[in-house]
Structure 1
């Protein structure tokens, strides 16, 4: 009987300790959740207050500059198989900069364009890296070397202020540019915009 009481006491003691540890762990998790918005873990990019018209014009000008760096300004199409530059009626619809908090997020324009391949992949990628650096972007995601198989893309990624990013890939077959414009909190960014529509 005494042995059973001792075993029961041990079980209860272990249960209390586990419960106490779970409570401490829960407090730590709640503390992390409460402090995360002020720390580097937040997804919300800083934003401007540019109108959709201003954002669109800057976005198109930036894409044209990027394509000029490649030296191949003809033969580019969007991810939707529309030719670049866009026709007047083609509408770009801004997307939330912070998808998880889309109700309160600023918005940005985003588009992928695809174009002809390059002969010298390293020179092509390095020219884009220089452009990104000249624009004040922080460059990362630089991949590609002579050991890469022929059809695998050489890449570079640039991140600027207010959510601006350029994701560039170049291969013998084709080149890809994914441009995300600056985030803007202006109400007009809730609507689509084109060359002839605000």
Structure 2
């Protein structure tokens, strides 16, 4: 089922206003104009690219430490910690290329508007299409300001920032390489 971008943005706005901090989890799956292509990177190439991308994103926030995964382990993951690739197309998941996806939660910031805007500039600098830009001075205290960037081949960054927390959900590029069917880590081939 394809979901319209407008519907996703409306649900995202409601989620944020009701106190959802973890971002809207939009990702590349299900959007009308999501990229259909697929790379053929091995699991190790995909993993290395994913980790480097996440480290770049955290550098933009200015807080490179204190981040934990949605599963409670510290970033960066231990060398043998496997990340499980998910289908890029949830509708045709059996034949779908796969992508590494992970959400990190980190410390808040006092100037969350500037923080969000810095992330938008970063995403624009990478040639990403920006959507889901939410937040204004009428928001109640503690409600996250969001931005989503979509790049080539399924790459998506969903960013939420507030005085108490920040959340980054990174959807890595899709790959149809057979090694992406299993967990990937620094020790993967």
Please, what TM-score do these two structures have when normalized by structure 1? 0.78
The CA RMSD measured in Å over matched residues stands at: 1.4
- Paired residues of 2:34 and 2:154 also in contact (CA < 8 A): no
- Paired residues of 1:59 and 1:109 also in contact (CA < 8 A): yes
- Paired residues of 2:84 and 2:183 also in contact (CA < 8 A): yes
- Paired residues of 1:91 and 1:193 also in contact (CA < 8 A): yes
Matched with 2:71 is 80
In 2, Cα distance between equivalents of 1:42 and 1:148: 29
Matched with 2:127 is 136
Shift of the 165–150 alpha-carbon distance from structure 1 to 2, 3 Å rule, reads same
- Paired residues of 2:88 and 2:174 also in contact (CA < 8 A): yes
In 2, Cα distance between equivalents of 1:133 and 1:42: 18
- Give the superposition deviation at 1:197: 2.4
- Give the superposition deviation at 1:88: 1.1
Per the alignment, in what secondary structure is the counterpart of residue 52 of structure 2?
helix
Q: List runs of 5+ in structure 2 lacking aligned partners.
A: 1-30
In 1, Cα distance between equivalents of 2:93 and 2:58: 30
Matched with 2:159 is 168
Any residues of structure 2 matched to 1:1-198 within 5 Å, and which?
A: 41=32, 45-198=36-189
Q: List runs of 5+ in structure 1 lacking aligned partners.
A: 1-39
In 2, Cα distance between equivalents of 1:57 and 1:169: 24
- Give the superposition deviation at 1:78: 0.2
In 2, Cα distance between equivalents of 1:87 and 1:188: 20
- Give the superposition deviation at 1:131: 0.2
Per the alignment, in what secondary structure is the counterpart of residue 72 of structure 2?
coil
Listed one character per residue, the Cα deviations across residues 101-139 of structure 1 (whole Å, up to 9, x for unaligned) are 011110000000000001101100000000000011000
Query: Which stretches of structure 1, 4 residues or more, deviate above 6 A after TM superposition?
Result: none
Shift of the 166–44 alpha-carbon distance from structure 1 to 2, 3 Å rule, reads closer
- Equivalenced residue count is 159
Normalized per residue, the structure richer in helix is: 1
Query: Higher relative contact order by CA 8 Å / sep ≥ 6: 1 or 2?
Result: 2
Please, what TM-score do these two structures have when normalized by structure 2? 0.81
